[in-house]
Amino acid sequence: MTTSFPHLPWVRTFEACARHRSFARAADELGLTPAAVGQHIRHLEAQLGFALFKRMARGIVLTPIGRDYAPIVTGLLDDFAAGTVALFGIHGGRTITLRCVASFASLRLPRILHRFAQAYPGVSVQVQTPVWSDDADATHVDLEVRYGSGLWPDYDAIALSEGISYPLCPPGNAMVGDTSTALYALARQAPIHILGMENLWRKLAVQLGWPEQEMQAGITVDTSAIALELVAAGAGSAIIDAQLCHLHLERGLVVHPGGIALRHEQRHYICIPRTSHITRPEVLVLRDWIRAQTDQR
């Protein structure tokens, strides 16, 4: 195998083909003919000495070594784009459309975007906040913050958090004696449920050995932001993703008793839709900025 770096247009073509699983869709994105795309891939395979795709009757499939090569190439191109922007800056361009789950948008995004605007004053960001991400079309979205399992076939997803939630109580409630017992007594009076995450109370009950594994909700809401405000108002207790609690805990609006934490598989992800458009450098810069800022207060 030659040690020379592959011709960059061939590498870019491979990345598009691997992402779309189609020579034709890659050709549309790159402004090439399917024949030219096929030629690029053949040249790249010849230089590397390995087949990267299996040509099937109804499309293409990555070979095992092609699957291993694809994330390397994607990372290389992303780093190249982000490095170019970091060195030369962003000079205008189209608006970045960022779709974000509502609670993250209201509780975490303001500080992140404020710092981003200071660092990149020439970049315009438009934020959309559907309550349920799966309900909306991603055709015109550049970047998205989602909450869930991370298993979305139409998105390249990178985790922003560790999947940890905290039980939170209104301020001024005395936690006398054993924290778990005191939390149980307080929480069972008025547990607040969040649609789609009702099972967190049951999981916490199992983890802490509470006598009841089902807790009848006093109030059910559809966002963590509303649940947090209800806790702060004294309406009950809720289990909230740790990413979303920073401001309320800093300001003493809610209480996190005894450092109790619940680990689970759901978490926030920063995602780029696998659509037909080429990801612009400024989108990658915003993605990496959000990744870097989510572990800061």
Same domain, yes or no: 194 and 136:
no
Same domain, 97 and 122: yes
pLDDT value of position 2: 45
What pLDDT, on a 0 to 100 scale, did the predictor assign at position 232? 94
> Strands 238-241 and 164-168: what pairing?
antiparallel
Q: Which domain does 14 fall in, by range?
A: 8-87
Query: What pLDDT was estimated at residue 199?
Result: 82
| Residue 242 and residue 178 share a domain | yes
pLDDT at 280: 79
**Quick one: 173 and 39 in the same domain?**
no
β pairing state of 192-194 and 219-221 = parallel
Residue 69 forms part of a structural domain: yes
Share of the chain above pLDDT 70, in %: 87
Q: Is residue 2 situated within a structural domain?
A: no
Specify the pTM: 0.70
Q: Is residue 113 part of a domain?
A: yes
> According to the 3-state scheme, what is the secondary structure of 118-154?
HHCCCCCEEEECCCCHHHCCCCCCCEEEEEECCCCCC
Q: Are residues 171 and 243 in the same domain?
A: yes
82 occurs within a structural domain: yes
| Sign, CA torsion 103/106/110/111 | negative
Is residue 1, in this structure, part of any structural domain at all? no
- Of 234 and 172, more confident: 234
Q: Are residues 169 and 259 in the same domain?
A: yes
For residue range 28-42, list pLDDT tens digits in order.
878 889 899 999 999
Task: State how many domains the chain has.
Answer: 3
State yes or no: pLDDT of 297 exceeds 50.
Answer: no
pLDDT over 90 at 158, yes or no: no
What is the structure's pLDDT at 75?
80
**245 shares its domain with 186:** yes
User: 40 is written with which tokens?
Assistant: 């690029």
CATH number for 138: 3.40.190.10
Q: Are residues 72 and 194 in the same domain?
A: no
Please tell me whether residues 173 and 259 are part of one structural domain.
Answer: yes
Same domain, 253 and 186: yes
* Cβ-Cβ contacts under 8 Å for 76 (sequence gap 6 or more): 11
For the segment 237-258, what is each residue's pLDDT rounded down to a tens digit? Answer: 999 999 899 889 999 999 998 7
Q: Report the distance separating Cα 229 and Cα 221, nearest Å.
A: 11
Q: Is 142 exposed, middle or buried (CB count within 10 Å of its CB: 0-12, 13-18, 19+)?
A: buried
CATH number at residue 12: 1.10.10.10
Choose the final residue of a domain: 87, 107, 126: 87
For 191-209, how does the pLDDT look when each residue is reduced to its tens digit (9 = 90+)? 899 988 878 888 888 888 8
Taking only the tens place, the pLDDT of each residue in 35-76 is: 999 999 999 999 999 999 998 877 899 999 999 998 888 888
